[in-house]
Amino acid sequence: MRSIQNAVFRRILAATLSCSVILCASIFLLVAQEFRGELRSQSANAAELILTIAQTTPVHELQTIEQLPQSQNGAEHEYVLAVYTPSEVLYASWPNPPSDISLLDAPLLTIDGEIYQMEHHLDPTTYTRVVVGMLERETILASLEIVAFTVLAFLLVMAAMLWLIRGAIAGGLVHIHRLADEVTKRHHGSLQPIDLELPPELRSIANATSNFMVRLREAIQREREFVSNAAHELRTPLAGIIAQTEAIPKAGLPDEVADPLEKIRQSAKRSARQVNQLLDHAFSQSQVGIQSTPVEICKILTETLVDLTPAADHADVEIEFHCPQTLQSNLPAPLLQIVFQNLIVNALKFSNRPGRVRVTCELGLNKVEVTIEDNGPGLSADEFHKAQSRFGRSNDQPLASGHGLGLAIVGELCADMGIQIDQRSSSDLGGLSAKLLVPILKSSSSKTS
């Protein structure tokens, strides 16, 4: 779609060109015609004047008037003059006037190969005629000269006017450009009001947009508060159940009490994990408006793994972490943490026993490659993508051991943050290898210890 400036200018240009063509054609026809008419009128006036002189001049004196000298460059005279009666030519300004006097009465006369347009004037008492001839070629050329000059001047003025119009359009649209720049150059998560001096036509748009962003910010804030409150309301009773089961001394408990107690504890922990995932999902949806700052990817991975390693150790899963460089990204740290955590938790859960999970972070081609591998059964590409749809589950996974939101959250967040996610079989560990390509901010050559 064309820009407003170009569209408006094209319309003005088309209208101007159309009018210019019509005007130029009109100039060509009318001016030329008018010029030639004026020439004939002047010739007729000259003929009348000469006739008046001829009437008062004796014939023999007329015959003594010399002919016009030949012009020095050899060009023909533009005008010729003859005074004649029906019986004789009293005077002719060119040599060898026609012997047939009736030829002088014609509107056009050829003299030495040139055509002259003849204007006649008659004295009705003496039947003396004066004829003034104009070189037709010169008449046409002169009229064309005038037309061309007029059209050229008109076109130059038109061009200057169009240039001024274009400048005026650009000047009129400058506020729209400022508004567009203000909106397009701000951070994608910014919900700040638009603070610009704008003309009245744009002020209403800017105000409506700012009001919308204020309402959106308030809605997002309410959503965040809801997530926080929901977290509290859902987690507190689960925390109570788990705390009570852990407060009961295990020593000496009969099996018929210890087993159900442990099942209660495990069920409560599973519910807590599901609540955490639902909260992660709700939290990630309410992150519009958060401006991110550079974050170290290795630091986020380290913190996540430090939190998860004790549980991994308890579940007989060995964790290995490689991150030889400081690598930064401009993505929101909380969302990155949710992605990493869900993938690592999945790896811990689905790895075999004894389990192995390896997490590596290295610089790829303009991206940071984070790979999470396990020694579990793995997932095919189709199963992996299906698991990223909400509540999808691989057919081979036992229902009691998993829940379907983890990879769905990862899929949605990666799509939102522009992270490419890929799966394959781990060549070393044999299970799933999930690779994330994270947009990089910068990398340094420092080594982590």
Q: Are strands 420-425 and 128-135 parallel, antiparallel or unpaired?
A: unpaired
Strands ordered across the beta sheet of 295-296: 295-296, 325-329, 442-447
Q: Residue written as tokens 């056009």? A: 108
Q: Which is nearer to another protein, 167 or 237 (CB)?
A: 237
Q: Which stretch binds another protein (CB under 8 A): 177-185, 187-195, 212-220, 232-240?
A: 232-240
DSSP letter for each residue of 177-220: HHHHHHHHHS-TT--PPP-----HHHHHHHHHHHHHHHHHHHHH
Q: Which is nearer to another protein, 323 or 440 (CB)?
A: 323
Q: Residue written as tokens 């799509």? A: 415
Q: Which stretch binds another protein (CB under 8 A): 91-99, 173-181, 237-245, 428-436?
A: 237-245
Query: What is the torsion angle, in degrees rounded to the nearest 10, for the CA atoms of residue 370, residue 375, residue 380 and residue 386?
Result: -70
Contacting another protein (CB under 8 A), which of 224, 367, 393, 435? Answer: 224
220 near another protein (CB under 8 A): no
432 near another protein (CB under 8 A): no
- The 315-354 site mask, x for binding another protein (CB under 8 A), equals ----xxxxx----------x--xx----------------
CB neighbour class for 343 (10 Å; exposed up to 12, middle 13-18, buried from 19):
buried
Q: Which is nearer to another protein, 332 or 411 (CB)?
A: 332
Restricting to residues 356-415, name those near another protein by CB under 8 A: 359
**Residues of 186-224 as b/e, b for ≥16 C-beta within 10 angstroms?**
eeeeebeebeeebeeeeeeebeeeeeebeeeeeebeebb
- The 139-178 site mask, x for binding another protein (CB under 8 A), equals ----------------------------------------
Restricting to residues 254-313, name those near another protein by CB under 8 A: 268-269, 272, 279, 283, 302, 305-306, 309-310, 313
236 near another protein (CB under 8 A): yes
221 near another protein (CB under 8 A): no
| Helical (H) or strand (E) element with 147 | helix 136-185
Q: Which is nearer to another protein, 72 or 236 (CB)?
A: 236
Residue type, 309: T
Answer whether the bond into residue 354 is a cis peptide, omega within 30°: yes
Q: How far is the CB of 351 from another protein (least distance, A)?
A: 15
Helix 297-314 crosses helix 333-350 at what angle (to 10 degrees)? 30
Q: Which SS3 state, helix, strand or coil, does residue 367 take?
A: strand
Q: Which is nearer to another protein, 37 or 324 (CB)?
A: 324
By the criterion CB under 8 A, which residues form the site for another protein? 224, 227-228, 231-244, 246-247, 249, 268-269, 272, 279, 283, 302, 305-306, 309-310, 313-314, 319-323, 334, 337-338, 359, 449
